[in-house]
């Protein structure tokens, strides 16, 4: 996540909160549906890694380190960067518990503290939607990547667009919410192209909003409903999040 002491954007405060960091995994990946979401996210990530695997990897907006750990288990040397010291503390504790050698460093997604082409692979999951300037963040990921970047985002054409609209209304009413933004895939493609990268693979995960699946709370319902919606073509048209694999041209 990005960080600025003077910036009022929620990503600079909510994720810096110690209590949020300590309960992050339970809130995002707890329960049947949360575990299913994590398993699907990890499966897509590992599929995109391909073979042979890169040697070095950077996880931008690493949070509690889940993506970093999945990559590290493949044998790569992994660095996780995040602006939230609370998140980094939890990630470090998790790494020690699982005996995984991941280096966690403080880093702003808008100005990564690494030289050009420092990593074979740069990954960022569930982060761009929360950053003030997603274009700049993609540019930074491309800058420090030597070969590949993998990231995801909620697309403009999806139920996520309706959900974020509702959250903006809630924010206007004074509630403290994460008013994430949805992103046009065409705009993502343009930013990548401007930074010397091209999309080579794309995956869409859910048709219905993740918040709805969590409300139902049944992994069986989620699997059956999403399978049915995919069969009639809705996943291809409006699935979210979209995960992108892009390679340098």
What is the pTM for the complete model shown?
Answer: 0.89
Please tell me the predicted confidence (pLDDT) of residue 5. 46
pLDDT of 143-152, one tens digit each? 999 999 999 9
Please tell me the predicted confidence (pLDDT) of residue 8. 62
Please tell me the predicted confidence (pLDDT) of residue 141. 98
Per domain, the residue ranges of the chain are 10-153+183-205+241-248
Three-class secondary structure of residue 89 per DSSP: helix
Residues of the chain with pLDDT under 70: 1-17, 52, 164-179
| H or E segment and range at residue 125 | none
pLDDT of 107-121, one tens digit each? 999 999 999 999 999
Please tell me the predicted confidence (pLDDT) of residue 170. 61
Q: What angle do CA 13, 19, 22 make, to 5 degrees?
A: 115
Three-class secondary structure of residue 203 per DSSP: strand
Please tell me the predicted confidence (pLDDT) of residue 235. 97
Please tell me the predicted confidence (pLDDT) of residue 19. 76
Looking at domain 10-153+183-205+241-248, its CATH architecture is 3-Layer(aba) Sandwich (3.40)
């Amino acid at each position: 996540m990005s960080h600025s002491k003077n910036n009022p954007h929620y990503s600079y405060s909510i994720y810096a909160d110690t209590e949020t960091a300590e309960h992050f995994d339970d809130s995002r990946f707890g329960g049947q549906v949360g575990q299913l979401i994590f398993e699907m996210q990890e499966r897509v990530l590992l599929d995109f890694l391909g073979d042979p695997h890169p040697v070095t990897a950077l996880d931008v907006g690493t949070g509690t380190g889940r993506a970093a750990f999945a990559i590290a288990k493949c044998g790569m040397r992994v660095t996780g960067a995040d602006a939230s010291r609370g998140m980094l503390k939890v990630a470090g504790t998790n790494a020690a518990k699982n005996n995984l050698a991941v280096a966690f460093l403080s880093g702003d997604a808008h100005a990564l503290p690494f030289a050009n082409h420092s990593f074979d692979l740069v990954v960022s999951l569930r982060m761009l939607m929360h950053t003030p300037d997603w274009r700049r963040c993609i540019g930074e990921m491309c800058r420090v990547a030597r070969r590949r970047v993998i990231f995801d985002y909620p697309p403009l054409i999806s139920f996520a667009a309706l959900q974020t609209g509702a959250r903006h209304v809630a924010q206007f009413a004074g509630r403290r919410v994460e008013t994430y933004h949805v992103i046009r895939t065409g705009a993502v493609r343009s930013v990548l192209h401007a930074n010397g990268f091209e999309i080579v693979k794309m995956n869409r995960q859910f048709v219905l909003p993740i918040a709805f699946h969590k409300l139902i709370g049944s992994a069986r319902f989620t699997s059956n409903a999403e399978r049915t919606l995919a069969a009639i073509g809705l996943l291809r048209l409006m699935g979210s999040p979209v995960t992108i694999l892009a390679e340098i041209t």
